[in-house]
């Protein structure tokens, strides 16, 4: 194994400032930087970022409840209800009542929404590949596995 440069060995020996080693900050900063890059792509498609998050959540064809989607996209259910209504009016979503409980509203992609989601998911995958291109495949998979484990470990009442 090749020896690491002296500057790298020195940097490892010096304690990092708190903020540069604080997990919550590192996660937030990485998320902000990566999301900001991709959100520019989303805005060019004339879609609000929040609507992109809804499309991405529904891209696999499922029809979860408004509450379940709100939890995934990290917003209050009342806000998602308003966003979903706009998306229904613009033809991106279809809304149905739950068969077992009419108080629950389920949403799924319309054909127009499915088409838009398919395009944006492909662009998101390309962006992710670019972001992860400095890592080898095993490290990228390990990073995602560790993040999923952190999320599971610290999930709220809904389990996500």
Domains of the chain: 48-153 (1.10.10.10)
Number of neighbouring beta carbons within 10 Å of residue 69? 24
Q: Any bridge partners for residue 108, and if so which?
A: 94
Helix residue spans in 45-136 (DSSP H)? 49-58, 66-73, 77-89, 111-132
Note the pLDDT of residue 12: 61
Contact (CB, 8 A) for 127 and 133: no
Which residue, 46, 106, 114, 41, is CA-closest to 80? 106
Note the pLDDT of residue 10: 56
pLDDT digits (tens), the chain, 160 positions: 455 555 554 556 677 799 999 999 999 999 999 999 999 999 999 999 999 999 999 999 999 999 999 999 999 999 999 999 999 999 999 998 877 777 888 999 999 999 999 999 999 999 999 999 999 999 999 999 999 999 999 886 655 5
73 Cα distance to chain centroid: 7
Note the pLDDT of residue 1: 46
Cα–Cα distance measured from residue 1 to residue 11, given in angstroms and rounded to the nearest whole number: 19
**What DSSP character marks residue 159?**
-
**What DSSP character marks residue 1?**
-
Strand ranges inside 36-121, DSSP E:
93-97, 105-109
Residues 6+ apart with CB under 8 A from 93: 54, 58, 84, 87, 107, 108, 109, 110, 113
Note the pLDDT of residue 131: 95
Note the pLDDT of residue 99: 78
Note the pLDDT of residue 97: 82
**What DSSP character marks residue 64?**
-
């Amino acid at each position: 194994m090749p020896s690491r440069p002296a500057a790298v060995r020195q940097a490892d020996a010096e304690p990092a400032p708190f903020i540069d080693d604080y997990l919550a900050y590192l996660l937030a900063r990485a998320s902000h930087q990566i999301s900001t890059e991709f959100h520019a792509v989303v805005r060019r498609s004339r879609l609000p970022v929040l609507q992109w998050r809804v499309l991405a959540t529904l891209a696999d064809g499922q029809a979860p409840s408004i509450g379940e989607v709100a939890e995934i996209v990290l917003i209050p259910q009342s806000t998602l209800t308003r966003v979903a209504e706009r998306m229904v009016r613009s033809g991106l979503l279809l809304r149905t009542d739950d068969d077992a409980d009419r108080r629950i509203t389920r949403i799924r992609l319309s054909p127009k929404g499915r088409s838009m989601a398919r395009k944006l998911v492909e662009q998101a995958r390309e962006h992710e590949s670019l972001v992860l291109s400095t890592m080898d495949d095993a490290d990228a998979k390990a990073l995602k596995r560790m993040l999923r484990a952190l999320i599971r470990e610290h999930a709220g009442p809904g389990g996500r």
